[in-house]
Amino acid sequence: MKVFFRTIHLYLSLAAGIVIFCSCLTGTMLVFEKEIEHTLHPKLYYVRAAATRVPLEQMINAALKQVPKAKLASAMVYNDAARTVEIGLIVPEKKGKKGSAAQAEKGRPAAAQGDKDKKTKEADRANLSVFVNPYTGQVTGQYSRRQSFLYSAEMFHRFLLAGKDSLGDWVVSISTLLFLFILITGVILWWPKTKNVMKQRLKIKWGGSTKRLVHDLHLVTGFYTSIFLIVIALTGLIMTFKLANQALFAITGSKLVKEQPKTPQSKYQAGAKALKVDAALQAVAAQTALADYYTVRVPKDSLAVYSINILPKGAVETTADTYYVDQYSGGIAGAQLFAAKSLGQRVRAYVKPVHTGSVYGLPTKIISFVVCLLSLIFPVTGVMMWLNRTRKKTKTYRKLELV
């Protein structure tokens, strides 16, 4: 039976090994993306705290003056006194623009995309961040993530730089599925028959021969990281394949919601002026005071509402609550609370943080980084072991021919 699993393990590894290696390498880079960016550009993210802050409306206007042709997408405000306010802007891109960033945002053709809400959401996504000092109202700098190296690394990690629903997207997706089978067959092949063999497979014999060292690096590190890598592969599949996503909701006994709930509207008042951002925020002042950060989206027309996304302190970034504020009365027009969502929706919200290692902050990021780093060993040692066996078989055949 193990011969069968060894054959599957070998050929699947040879078929997807290069893509898996590249995915693990780029995944390792992306674990500490935020920390890297904050270290490289500290003046963008941090300022000296002062006693009073200027109105958010003033910060938004300062950002828009920096980029006259841009439209406001959102404003992200941190409760950390040392953090700048991030104003997300939508800057019109030149027609016919090419490259990984443009390719990635293409999405599906209109006929296959589904509903118009998804297209609108893509169009409303900020492509430039302007950082503003909340105490002086002065712009500290601009940053386009789409032009950064780490963004390119993410696009390579997800689509091989080819864009969503491209051949590269499918290659990565299928390789992730194969990786899951490789990990499962690897655990089966590792499983020892006796306790003495188990002791050998739980530690690396550093003083052994080169072949023994390669063998131990492949088997021992594979065993210790297999559970983590299986989780990473499974979460990747859930984000990639509709069937895997549907299976998650079926397992949790929840109904898969294909469309987002309708956003409430403001009660239009003839002759009335819309409230400024700071006035609208008063409706959720108690919630924002207890948040790590909150994101504000302003109304797009006379019937729209203020959309305020609030992440409670210590919560996972995908578990925020959303409040809708009437732009005329300043009252709460509705809310989408994370706690009120179905079990399937709540579990689904944790899929990406688990995949990236950010679910419990720095401790899980370190684990994810180490696991991804160690996973780079498997394709290399696996090929070395395969070549050693191939050479050994060749020598055996030659000896038999001579006899």
Q: Which residue has the higher pLDDT, 396 or 127?
A: 127
- Asked if the structure places residue 391 within a domain, the reply is yes
Structural domain ending residue among the three candidates 310, 341, 372: 341
pLDDT (tens digit per residue) in 360-375 = 999 999 999 999 999 9
300-340 pLDDT tens trace: 999 999 999 999 999 999 999 999 999 999 999 999 999 99
Helix (H, G, I), strand (E, B) or coil at 334: strand
Q: Tens of pLDDT along 186-205? A: 999 999 888 888 888 899 98
Query: What residue numbers bound the domain in which 321 lies?
Result: 277-341
Examine the domain organization and report whether 159 and 223 are in the same domain.
yes
Q: What is the pLDDT of residue 197?
A: 86
**Residue 107: pLDDT band by 50, 70, 90 thresholds?**
very low
> 155 with 226, same domain?
yes
Classify residue 21: in a domain, yes or no: yes
Alpha-carbon distance of 154 to 370, in angstroms, equals 18
105 within a domain of the structure (yes/no)? no
DSSP 216-227: HHHHHHHHHHHH
Residue 194 falls within a domain, yes or no?
Answer: yes
| Whole-number pLDDT of residue 105 | 45
Position 120 in a domain = no
Residues 263-309 pLDDT 10s? 999 999 888 899 999 999 999 999 999 999 999 999 999 999 999 99
Domain count, the chain: 2
- Number of C-beta neighbours around residue 355 at 10 A: 20
Is residue 171 assigned to a domain? yes
> How are strands ordered across the β-sheet holding 128-132?
139-143, 128-132, 85-90, 71-78, 291-297, 305-312, 321-326, 332-336
Q: Look at residue 137 in the predicted model and tell me its pLDDT.
A: 97
pLDDT at 393: 64
Is 309:335 a contact under the CB 8 Å cutoff?
A: no
pLDDT, tens only, 116-136: 455 445 556 788 999 999 999
CA-to-CA separations, 270 to 301, 328, 343, in angstroms, rounded = 14, 10, 42
- 283 shares its domain with 165: no
pLDDT exceeds cutoff 50 at 98: no
